[in-house]
Amino acid sequence: MLIQIREEDVTPVYLQVINQVREQIASGKLKPGERLPSVRELARFLDINVNTVQKSYQGLKQMGLLVIRPARGAIVSHKAPDVLGSAQNERLLKEALVRVMKEARRLGFDKDAVLRLLRDIEAS
């Protein structure tokens, strides 16, 4: 597992760790059942605070990407591919909605008008 902290990045360090672990799981570099470095090991390697790594691991656990077990540490969840699949779908939908909103604004519609149209579509 390779994680690089970018000091110039405005993204908080714990989110940099979360994002990079997510990317590695999504790409298959980290596979379900694979053990991650301990909190202390990763903190030492990245030269960051142990609490920062702990916060990252807890965030990944809350997302359903990690299982944390005493004495065994953090392990990539067997459900991670499904979780990332739904997250990927949500990201794609969000990108599509951004395009829709840009087009709606170009045509002179505001957010409320778009929401009304969505409700009309859903009702039909």
Q: How crowded is the C-beta side of 116, counted as CA atoms within 13 Å?
A: 6
Please give the C-alpha separations between residue 79 and each of 53, 83, 101, in angstroms, as whole numbers.
Answer: 22, 6, 33
0.75 exceeded by pTM? no
Give percent of the chain with pLDDT exceeding 70. Answer: 100
Q: How crowded is the C-beta side of 18, counted as CA atoms within 13 Å?
A: 19
Residues 82-87: contacts with CB under 8 Å, at least 24 apart: 84/22, 84/25, 84/26, 87/22, 87/63
Contacts of 99 by beta carbon, 8 Å cutoff, 6+ apart: none
Query: pLDDT band at 50, cuts 50/70/90?
Result: very high
Tokens (6 digits) for 43 = 């903190």
Tell which CATH architecture fits domain 13-77. Answer: Orthogonal Bundle (1.10)
The pLDDT tens digits for 72-123 are 899 999 999 888 887 777 777 888 888 899 999 999 999 999 999 999 999 9
Q: With residue 5 as reference, give the H or E element that holds it.
A: none
Residue ranges per structural domain of the chain: 13-77, 81-123
Mean pLDDT of 3-14: 93
pLDDT computed for residue 46 by the predictor = 96
